[in-house]
Structure 1
């Protein structure tokens, strides 16, 4: 059941007080910084007169390079730069380490370097097989070697840009957390809050309708 927008008015005002230009600027700036749009950040600050958050900008260039290397599938370079910027971060986040190593494995498979891919899997990915939670993923990646055209296999999604984007986003969030910066943008947090409010309103509306039917 879709709710009458008027039902949101009082609740929205409670959770989201009146928004001024400074609030909007902060939301936009948070998004630009999170995604490493340095030129856009500088232009936005100049045009709006917003205060420059120096601590956020300090490592943006490094994060941007790391993000793009991961997105392009050059995982080994992304790992190298990550260890320079945030030492031990991957040792403390095995899931992320596995995902980055898997990107390199996928690049070897796509380049038809199957022997090299197998050796890499045995030495770098194999140790993860000691933990049950990685077994299914490992099986999916290894299955790619069985196809002459892995992009046409049932595991084709592992070769996709969407998968690389997911890993790159996770890496970016992990680095932000390591630098004591927000893992999520203000825009994302607002959307999450709005979603929770809508769910609560829907539940309350359901209860009201239930009582009405009983009457």
Structure 2
């Protein structure tokens, strides 16, 4: 008969496994579904009677003779511009300016009337070649840039950070304009007089405009804004120090303190900045020993230490923390190839957790290790990596912190100050994106670290 697992671990504390996989699984958390990007022109949604699209769908020609303003040859890209990025950009090459050079480049929404120049209708913007004017949602243009004609390369882009459209000519920035349209926008080109012909480049070839330098400049502008913000002296040092304290990295903490002893003020300065180290020093030596034992795979010793030091943590054998520890013991038996003992152990200790929905995924993955001749190379081989030991060590560390009778914040045992700061940063970035119609870059820690180190992503 299967016993139901309690949601309570000790002292009324709820242990949520996802809290621990987030810290160690930051890379997985940052993986996003790849956005579709424009690759060619949409021959279905176009004013087909006035233009001819090439077979590769990357060039258009105006073949008619326009009789009035509605005889525009307009064509959108096959999909909207992607939005989960800092900048989107595309270019056109004017192969032939035709009779009047009435060529336009811009952005339009999905409801745009396909017999109008981009910028002439609401929710559209267009830079026009015959007069160099910018049109934004109405038939009257405004002074913007130079005209363009045969042989010119014109670009259109969206800077999601500044919420601006920008346009280029022959590799140079022409100008920018505020983007007050929130919904999906399609890269759009238009031709409007006989023999006008345009080739479009959605990134299949190198751009004439150095868009990478443009992105780098925007990032540097953002960084300069950040660096102007005043912070308490040495606050980053104390935030990092609190991380070592929180997770019981006592040896690393000692080395860190030794290296910074001659350059930083005494510890009391952290109190002024809202960092309370007293709580995180609780049971530091015990937490260090427990982490070392888990990292070494010595689960029997872990159980023994917990029973001696913190019996309340393991008194409920159906608790989530006991489940994690028993799973890790099973994993360690598989690691050394002791499959017979692993099966016996699973029957004795893991059977009680079968049927518990919240634990089913990890439990199934653990048992699945028995199905493979080479478990390390299997789809569940990640359980044999050091990162899984760290997940268990984090959970045990949190449970020990939760026994601190002087703990004021019932959630402080779960995360360090550094992690709470990162979560606040991620939340702020999400809020900013929501204000811009969920457009712009999402927060990715690895990208931020790489940019600080001069890397590219």
TM-score (norm 1): 0.78
Q: What is the distance in 2 between the residues matched to 1:77 and 1:204?
A: 52
Q: Aligned-pair distance for 1:149?
A: 2.0
Q: Aligned-pair distance for 1:99?
A: 1.4
Partner residue in 2 for 1:213: none
Question: RCO greater where, 1 or 2, for CA within 8 Å and sep 6 or more?
Answer: 1
- Three-state SS of the structure 2 residue aligned to 1:206 is coil
Q: Aligned-pair distance for 1:45?
A: 7.9
Contact preservation (8 Å) 1:33, 1:57: yes
Contact preservation (8 Å) 1:71, 1:168: yes
Deviates more, 1:163-172 or 1:179-188: 179-188
Deviates more, 1:74-83 or 1:163-172: 74-83
Tell me, yes or no, if structure 1 residue 37 matches structure 2 residue 249. Answer: yes
Q: Aligned-pair distance for 1:173?
A: 2.0
Q: What is the distance in 2 between the residues matched to 1:20 and 1:154?
A: 47
* CA offsets 1:107-150 (integer angstroms, 9 cap, x no match): 11122212211111111111111534434433332232233322
Tell me, yes or no, if structure 1 residue 123 matches structure 2 residue 335. Answer: no
Contact preservation (8 Å) 2:283, 2:400: no
Q: What is the distance in 1 between the residues matched to 2:365 and 2:386?
A: 17
Tell me, yes or no, if structure 1 residue 151 matches structure 2 residue 383. Answer: no
**Number of equivalenced pairs:** 205
Alignment of 1:104-115 (within 5 A): 104-115=329-340
Tell me, yes or no, if structure 1 residue 185 matches structure 2 residue 416. Answer: yes
Partner residue in 2 for 1:174: 399
- Three-state SS of the structure 2 residue aligned to 1:193 is helix
Alignment of 1:26-175 (within 5 A): 26-38=238-250, 39-40=254-255, 42-43=257-258, 46-47=261-262, 48=264, 49-51=266-268, 53=277, 56-91=280-315, 94-175=319-400
Judging by fraction of residues, say which structure has more strand: 2
Which of 179, 185, 197 is the matching residue for 2:428?
197
Contact preservation (8 Å) 1:76, 1:101: no
Deviates more, 1:190-199 or 1:36-45: 36-45
Larger radius of gyration: 2
- Three-state SS of the structure 1 residue aligned to 2:267 is coil
Which structure 1 residue ranges, 4+ long, deviate > 6 Å from structure 2? 5-10
Q: What is the distance in 1 between the residues matched to 2:414 and 2:303?
A: 19
Give structure 2 stretches of 5+ with no counterpart: 1-84, 87-160, 163-218, 271-276, 441-457
Distance 1:197 1:9, change over 3 A: farther
Q: What is the distance in 2 between the residues matched to 1:207 and 1:54?
A: 40
- What value does the CA root-mean-square deviation take over the aligned residues? 3.2
Q: Aligned-pair distance for 1:187?
A: 1.3
Q: What is the distance in 2 between the residues matched to 1:95 and 1:109?
A: 21
